[in-house]
């Protein structure tokens, strides 16, 4: 009886292996690992924001609009619960993607306005934070690309025959990926305007011409 059970297990194992079950498991774990790294790098970026905002505010407090936008964008990112299950929820993933894109744009605007403040640009603390942010953005790009490729491989596997039959049997579904539209929007340079109505912002008054005399 024992030999029969062992034999059945061996046959079942060979059948599962042949129908792609093990491949699906490996690729599913690869997606989870890649997603964890994406979250790790996005969190690293979010952690840099408060210090960056505080440093810029010390030199350019009048750029209140841009500072508020960055702070609000970071708060929106922080309000989303970052879990492995997020990639299985299309609505939650879209919300996450939109929030990260908004923070990316806000940071671009913040760094753009700093070009108007030479003292800030030469500040050692700001230069260090900027270098850390740039390094983190590069890590985010690498992590996103690895995730995109991992999801692509996984999604192809569970759509192919005969592994699609195994995927349906064990309720494996396609996972969410970063969209081309989002990649395009967050790579667009921000439009920066200097708000001259905010406090401490000096503006040269325009003199009215004297009234005409006959």
Name the average pLDDT for the chain.
80
Give the pTM. 0.75
Q: How far apart are the first and last CA of the chain?
A: 121
* Lowest mean pLDDT, pick from 33-42, 113-122, 200-209: 200-209
Crossing angle (nearest 10°) for helices 90-113 and 124-159: 150
* Lowest mean pLDDT, pick from 112-116, 164-168, 197-201: 197-201
Lookup: tokens for 119: 């003292």
What are the tens digits of pLDDT across the range 165-195? 999 998 999 998 987 545 554 444 444 333 4
Q: What percent of the chain is predicted at pLDDT more than 70? A: 75
Which segment, 147-151, 182-186, 204-208, is predicted with the most confidence on average? Answer: 147-151
| DSSP calls for 110-126 | HHHHGGG-HHHHT-HHH
State the pLDDT at residue 199: 37
Give the right CATH number for 22-186 from 1.10.1200.10, 1.20.1440.20, 1.10.1040.10, 3.75.10.10.
1.20.1440.20
Task: Provide CB contacts within 8 A for 86, sequence distance 6+.
Answer: 35, 80, 92, 93, 96
Q: What percent of the chain is predicted at pLDDT more than 90? A: 62
- Measured CA to CA, the distance from residue 169 to residue 163 in angstroms comes to 10
- Is pLDDT at 108 greater than 90 in this prediction? yes
- Domain spans, the chain: 22-186
């Amino acid at each position: 009886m024992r030999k029969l059970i062992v034999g059945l297990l061996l046959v079942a194992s060979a059948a599962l292996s042949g129908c792609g079950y093990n491949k699906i498991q490996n690729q599913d774990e690869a997606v989870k690992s890649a997603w964890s790294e994406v979250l790790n790098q996005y969190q690293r970026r979010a952690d840099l924001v408060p210090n960056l905002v505080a440093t810029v505010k010390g030199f350019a407090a009048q750029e209140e609009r841009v500072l508020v936008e960055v702070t609000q964008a970071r708060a929106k990112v922080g309000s989303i619960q970052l879990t492995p299950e997020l990639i299985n929820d299309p609505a939650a993933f879209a919300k996450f993607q939109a929030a990260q894109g908004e923070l990316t744009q806000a940071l671009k605007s913040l760094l753009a306005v700093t070009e108007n403040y030479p003292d800030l640009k030469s500040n050692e603390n700001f230069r260090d934070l900027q270098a850390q942010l740039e390094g983190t953005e590069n890590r985010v790009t690498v992590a996103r690309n690895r995730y995109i490729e991992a999801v692509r491989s996984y999604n192809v596997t569970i759509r192919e025959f005969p592994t699609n039959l195994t995927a349906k049997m064990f309720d494996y579904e396609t996972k969410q990926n970063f969209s081309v539209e989002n990649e395009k929007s967050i790579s667009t340079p921000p439009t920066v305007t200097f708000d001259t109505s905010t406090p401490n912002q000096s503006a040269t008054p325009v003199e009215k011409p004297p009234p005409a005399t006959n």
